């Protein structure tokens, strides 16, 4: 089975969020089942400068506003993934993030940049590379949302199906919406612009294109697959998702144990496992020293490794932060996002230097350091498609404190009296998105931490949870086989 993954990020070459972790781990896991996967990405500098021995596959000339488009083939530095790179410097060779400039303003021509990505994906199902063509095109998030549309357009035009398509929603809130006028520049039939197609409230939605034209839709947890069919979390697309519910499934993301495992993680102060967690105390001490926190073992260290946004529930944390600090707990934060949240957390940290440390931005090494060294990882999201941070926390014996929503509900079991008695507790879960329930969960975390023997039992249960990519890969492969038929 030849599968082309179409995406905008891939760890460790380029990462702004969990999408990069997924697109790096899934093709490798699929290879264990004999699936021949390749990955198509835009030629961002992070890719073009990191990959050597690039082989020219095709010269595509002038496309989507770029005068000289070329397609290259290369492998990742570890040689585990074969990648196609779209070299179009006028579109992709820019400073700033993949999606926005240095002032965090979205690029005005993002519709062209990511239309080109989807169009090339369709060409790779039509022998653009004479030695490899995709049987299944697996498009990830809105950046790749037009890939199924280009495949469908070719099928209607010629009467032949180039490849089957899967569209995975990693976060429905990010939709890639552009004005109607862009339709003239993205080389799709004008009649694709209607309610049964690209049209979304008079505009063009790349995400809706993927949802409508793909043969199958997946999202990254079973609970989120159910939630997005409702009005509250459907982001205006719940009607379409309800109509396609028979083609929609939730497949839980996994954890790449080669990157995230306390037993072999080279980025942390000491390794440990379920048989001996002594190394976690070493990591805890190292985190306190690195962050300039007062050395103490009596109270838990809470952590956040996240985008600092309201969606992630960081407003709740800010409102309930005294519940942590007034009890002598410590708080370590790594992330960036809303400037108001960044400023508010930084201000609180400056006033509580022995109890709180904030680092703005993203640092992969520090992320490992924080998750290994803290006791509780907080993900109190308003909505959460899957969440990877809580999975990393479980693996490292850092108990997640989460809201019961999306993938968080699917992966963390509350430390209620019943669950403690049954030996299945793995963290702290609250239901409603309000500071009262969040603060109650914080108090329960303090109470359990004070009962050391019970804390260790819950910690061991957390570390024994199985969220390997092999489980997800097997389900994806079965889905590929269904649509390829």
Q: Are 286 and 235 contained in the same domain?
A: no
Question: Which pLDDT does position 364 carry in this prediction?
Answer: 93
User: Is pLDDT above 80 for 383?
Assistant: yes
Question: Which pLDDT does position 96 carry in this prediction?
Answer: 80
Q: Are 213 and 288 contained in the same domain?
A: no
Question: Which pLDDT does position 233 carry in this prediction?
Answer: 95
Q: Are 40 and 175 contained in the same domain?
A: yes
Q: Are 350 and 415 contained in the same domain?
A: yes
- The owner of tokens 């993900």 is 379
CATH number, domain of 435, equals: 3.40.50.2000
Q: Are 209 and 339 contained in the same domain?
A: no
Residue 117: closest CA among 86, 90, 95: 86
Domain count, the chain: 2
Q: Are 133 and 207 contained in the same domain?
A: yes
Q: What tens digit of pLDDT does each residue of 240-293 get?
A: 999 999 999 999 999 999 999 999 999 999 999 999 999 999 999 999 999 999
Q: Are 108 and 217 contained in the same domain?
A: yes
Answer yes or no: is 456 within a domain. yes
Report yes or no: 411 and 391 within 8 Å, Cβ to Cβ.
Answer: yes
Q: How far is it, in rounded angstroms, from Cα 427 to Cα 374?
A: 14
Q: Which two tokens stand for residue 471?
A: 């489980």
For 45, phi and psi rounded to 5 degrees?
Answer: -55, -35
For 136, phi and psi rounded to 5 degrees?
Answer: -130, 130
Q: What tens digit of pLDDT does each residue of 403-451 get?
A: 999 999 999 999 999 999 999 999 999 999 999 999 999 999 999 999 9
Q: How far is it, in rounded angstroms, from Cα 73 to Cα 139?
A: 19
Q: How far is it, in rounded angstroms, from Cα 344 to Cα 149?
A: 43
Q: What tens digit of pLDDT does each residue of 181-232 get?
A: 999 999 999 999 999 999 999 999 999 999 999 999 999 999 999 999 999 9
Answer yes or no: is 261 within a domain. no
Answer yes or no: is 51 within a domain. yes
Q: Are 233 and 337 contained in the same domain?
A: no
Question: Which pLDDT does position 354 carry in this prediction?
Answer: 96
Hey, what long-range contacts does 443-447 have (CB within 8 A, 24 or more apart)? 443/323, 444/415, 445/300, 445/302, 445/376, 445/399, 445/401, 446/299, 446/300, 446/327, 446/329
Q: What tens digit of pLDDT does each residue of 46-65 get?
A: 999 999 899 999 999 999 99
Dihedral sign for Cα 224, 227, 232, 234, please. Answer: positive
Q: Are 250 and 338 contained in the same domain?
A: no
User: Is pLDDT above 90 for 95?
Assistant: no
Q: Which two tokens stand for residue 77?
A: 């530095």
Residue span of the structural domain in which 308 resides: 278-463
Answer yes or no: is 270 within a domain. no
Q: Are 128 and 46 contained in the same domain?
A: yes
Q: Are 29 and 171 contained in the same domain?
A: yes
Q: Is the peptide bond before 12 cis (omega within 30 degrees of 0)?
A: yes
* Distance in angstroms between the alpha carbons of the first and the last residue of the chain: 11
Answer yes or no: is 260 within a domain. no
Q: What tens digit of pLDDT does each residue of 153-189 get?
A: 999 999 999 999 999 999 999 999 999 999 999 999 9
17 pLDDT tier (thresholds 50, 70, 90): confident
Report yes or no: 69 and 62 within 8 Å, Cβ to Cβ.
Answer: yes
Q: What tens digit of pLDDT does each residue of 335-362 get?
A: 999 999 999 999 999 999 999 999 999 8
Q: Is the peptide bond before 208 cis (omega within 30 degrees of 0)?
A: no
Q: Are 315 and 224 contained in the same domain?
A: no
């Amino acid at each position: 089975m030849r599968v082309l993954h179409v995406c905008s990020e891939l760890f460790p070459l380029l990462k702004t969020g969990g999408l990069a972790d997924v697109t790096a781990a899934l093709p490798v896991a699929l290879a264990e089942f004999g699936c021949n996967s390749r990955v198509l990405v835009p030629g961002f500098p992070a890719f073009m400068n990191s990959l050597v021995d690039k082989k020219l596959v095709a010269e595509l000339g002038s496309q989507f506003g770029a005068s000289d488009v070329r397609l290259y083939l290369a492998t990742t530095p570890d040689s585990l993934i074969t990648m196609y790179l779209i070299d179009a410097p006028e579109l992709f060779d820019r400073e700033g993030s993949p999606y926005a400039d240095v002032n965090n303003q979205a690029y005005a021509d993002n519709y062209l940049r990511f239309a080109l990505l989807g169009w090339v994906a369709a060409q790779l199902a039509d022998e653009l590379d004479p030695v490899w063509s995709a049987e299944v095109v697996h498009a990830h998030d809105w950046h790749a949302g037009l890939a199924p549309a280009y495949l469908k357009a070719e099928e209607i035009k010629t009467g032949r199906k180039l490849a089957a398509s899967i569209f995975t929603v990693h976060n429905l809130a990010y939709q890639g919406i552009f004005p109607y006028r862009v339709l003239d520049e993205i080389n799709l039939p004008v009649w694709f612009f209607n309610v049964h197609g690209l049209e979304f409230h008079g505009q063009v939605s790349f995400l809706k294109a993927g949802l409508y034209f793909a043969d199958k839709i997946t999202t990254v947890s079973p609970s989120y697959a159910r939630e997005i069919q409702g009005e509250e979390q459907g982001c205006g697309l719940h009607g379409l998702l309800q109509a396609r519910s028979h083609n929609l499934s939730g497949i839980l993301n996994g954890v790449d144990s080669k990157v995230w495992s306390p037993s072999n993680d080279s980025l942390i102060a000491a390794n440990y496992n379920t048989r001996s967690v002594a190394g976690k105390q070493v990591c805890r001490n190292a985190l306190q020293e690195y962050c300039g926190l007062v050395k103490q073992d009596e109270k838990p260290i809470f952590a956040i490794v996240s985008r600092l946004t309201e969606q992630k529930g960081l407003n709740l944390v800010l409102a309930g932060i005294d519940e942590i600090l007034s009890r002598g707990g410590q708080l370590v934060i790594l992330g960036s996002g809303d400037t108001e949240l960044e400023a508010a957390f930084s201000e609180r940290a400056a006033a509580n230097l022995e109890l709180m440390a904030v680092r703005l931005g993203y640092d992969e090494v520090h992320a490992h350091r924080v998750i290994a060294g803290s006791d509780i990882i907080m993900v109190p999201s308003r909505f959460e498609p899957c969440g990877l941070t809580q999975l990393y926390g479980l693996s490292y014996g850092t108990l997640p404190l989460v809201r019961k929503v999306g993938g968080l509900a699917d992966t963390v079991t509350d430390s209620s009296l019943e669950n403690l008695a049954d030996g299945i507790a793995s963290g702290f879960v609250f239901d409603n998105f309000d500071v009262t329930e969040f603060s109650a969960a914080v108090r329960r975390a303090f109470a359990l931490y004070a009962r050391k023997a019970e804390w260790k039992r819950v910690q061991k249960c957390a570390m024994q949870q199985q969220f390997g990519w092999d489980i997800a890969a097997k389900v994806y492969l079965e889905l590929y086989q269904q649509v390829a038929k």
